[in-house]
Amino acid sequence: MRASLVETQRGNAKVGCLIAAGVVVLLILIVAMTLVGRYNAIVGLQEKTEAAWSEIDNQYKRRFDLVPQLVNTVKGAAEFERSTLEAVTEARASVGRMQLPPGLPSDPAKLQAYMQAQQGLGAALGRLFAVAEQYPQLKATQNFLGLQDQLEGTENRIAVARRDYIDAVRQYNTTIRRFPSNFVAGWFGFEKVPQMEVPAEERETPQVEFDFDQ
């Protein structure tokens, strides 16, 4: 009778150990699946941020490439203000000097300097189109009107791309700070992405028009 009781106790102990081991394994699986899910979520947000930055970069490069064509076209107008052309040319050169390394920006100071250069070019182009209103022969040039349309479209796409990038960075940076994603971010080297600083008047995404009567 006593031997049977001992065997029963041993059996119960083994069952208890197996249950405990099963619970531990289950907990490990739950934690592992949670961490994998967090990792994949961070990767997805990182890729979204990279895509948003790539779109900004592409649109800025498009504008950069259009400027020489615009300057050459405007030079053909009689007595066009030289200072305005020089301002656009210098603003474009400043953008060229402020180019960032490939990939997502990592240095807040360099990103800010880059954005200031881009905003300077946008402002210089706006002044050029404002001055161009005083030159009827230029306003009648199809090449000039075509460049105007292209630059307006590019400015609008830049505004949308910047908004998308700011939203993507906010989501990514917030996620890698939250528990338990912050542990995953630390383990796998996910770092905070510097946020783009845009003047208050440029934070919306209005349709850009140069107030240019065709």
The pLDDT assigned to 42 comes to: 93
Chain centre distance of CA 111: 11
Q: What CA–CA distance (Å, rounded) separates 168 from 170? A: 5
Crossing angle for the helix pair 2-75 and 108-132, nearest 10 degrees? 30
Neighbours of 185 (CB within 10 A): 22
- Domain limits, the chain: 2-202
Query: What tokens were used for 98?
Result: 């402020």
The pLDDT assigned to 154 comes to: 95
List the chain pLDDT tens, one digit each, 214 residues.
555 555 665 656 676 677 767 777 777 777 677 778 889 999 999 999 999 999 999 999 999 999 999 999 888 776 778 889 999 999 999 999 998 888 899 999 999 999 999 999 999 999 999 998 888 888 778 889 999 999 999 999 999 999 999 999 999 999 999 988 888 899 889 999 999 876 655 555 444 454 444 3
**Domain 2-202 listed as CATH 3.40.50.720:** no
The pLDDT assigned to 210 comes to: 47
Question: Is-contact 63 157, C-beta < 8 A?
Answer: no
Query: What tokens were used for 132?
Result: 């161009």
